[in-house]
Structure 1
Amino acid sequence: MTTAARPTPALMPSRRPAARPDTPTVGAPPRPPARREPWQQAILASSLPANFRFVAVALSTHADGTGHIAQQPRVIGLVHNTGINARQVAVALTALRDRGFLRLSPPDGRYDTADLILTMPRGAAARARRAQTATARSSADA
């Protein structure tokens, strides 16, 4: 039984060939404008406890521009990212869901199996903008 020769790094091309600008690229559609930054600002301006905001920001690093999380970190991933134990992460996710910052798909799913989607509750973006302008004013006065 013979096996094919394994490729070595020397046999690999030095870099990926560049796409020609006159030909459309086939693949993923263009990404929508990012919504992660306003979501993070709304989280940081909220009255959530600090460890809940920490879990939220850690979760948002996995999100794309639409708020969907392609590679779901699940509870165990958030435990590894934050260093907070699993029960506290689950409580933080529940608080985020109850306040409207997070949606589960399916809605009755568990955090270990359901997909998490970032959502912006009504009025949260406006509160974040007001908090940001107030901070800017106070630093300008100093």
Structure 2
Amino acid sequence: MTTAARPTPAHMPRRRPAPAATEAPPLGARPAHRQPWERAILASSLPGNFRFVGIALSTHADGRGHFARQPRVIGLVHNTGLHAGQVRVALAALVDRGFLRRTPATGPIDNVDLTLTLPPGALARARRAHQATNNRSNADA
């Protein structure tokens, strides 16, 4: 009975494998208008203080989701009354969920430029929540 030869370092490839290609940005990463973005934030399943930071952030945006003057973490701390760490965590969660885009994509959240974006499906969820609210208020009348 013969056994297979054990691999040695000589059997390993001579160079590292090429890194995987970076993924294309998601389709929903284009700037979002402010009013639908606010509806989507309020209809999301994010914790309350994350939504609070999102709404405070959106007050600085123009109607098309861009910021003429970027509100930094310290400005949002003053607007919301939350601690700087809480604001940073909320901004990171909003970026991870696709509600914000960072430019540049790396670096501390304190120094990046932000743009309001809508993740896929967020607008549809906001519309459903808005219709359900309207249906309940019409039933009460």
List runs of 5+ in structure 2 lacking aligned partners. 1-31
Q: Provide the residue aligned with 2:128 in structure 1.
A: 130
Could you tell me how far apart the structure 1 residues matched to 2:58 and 2:107 are? Answer: 20
Root-mean-square deviation (CA), in Å?
1.1
Shift of 1:65: 2.1
Contact 2:66 2:115 in 1 (8 A): yes
Shift of 1:73: 1.2
Q: Provide the residue aligned with 1:113 in structure 2.
A: 111
Q: Provide the residue aligned with 1:43 in structure 2.
A: 41
User: Are 1:81 and 2:79 an aligned pair?
Assistant: yes
Shift of 1:67: 1.1
User: Are 1:70 and 2:98 an aligned pair?
Assistant: no
Question: Partner amino acid for 1:48?
Answer: L
Structure 1-normalised TM-score? 0.74
SS in 2 for 1:112: helix
Aligned residue runs from structure 1 range 4-23, under 5 A: none
Could you tell me how far apart the structure 2 residues matched to 1:107 and 1:68 are? Answer: 16
Could you tell me how far apart the structure 2 residues matched to 1:109 and 1:62 are? Answer: 22
Question: Partner amino acid for 1:38?
Answer: P
Could you tell me how far apart the structure 2 residues matched to 1:137 and 1:65 are? Answer: 28
Deviation string 1:57-106 (CA, Å, 9 cap, x unpaired) is 00001111221111111100000000000000001001100100001000
Shift of 1:35: 1.1
Aligned residue runs from structure 1 range 23-42, under 5 A: 35-42=33-40
Shift of 1:141: 0.9
Q: Provide the residue aligned with 1:12 in structure 2.
A: none
SS in 2 for 1:77: helix
Structure 2-normalised TM-score? 0.75
Instruction: Give the share of equivalent positions with the same residue, in percent.
Output: 67
Could you tell me how far apart the structure 2 residues matched to 1:65 and 1:140 are? Answer: 30
List runs of 5+ in structure 1 lacking aligned partners. 1-33
Could you tell me how far apart the structure 2 residues matched to 1:80 and 1:111 are? Answer: 17
Aligned residue runs from structure 1 range 50-65, under 5 A: 50-65=48-63
Runs of 4+ aligned structure 1 residues displaced above 4 Å come to none
Larger Rg: 2
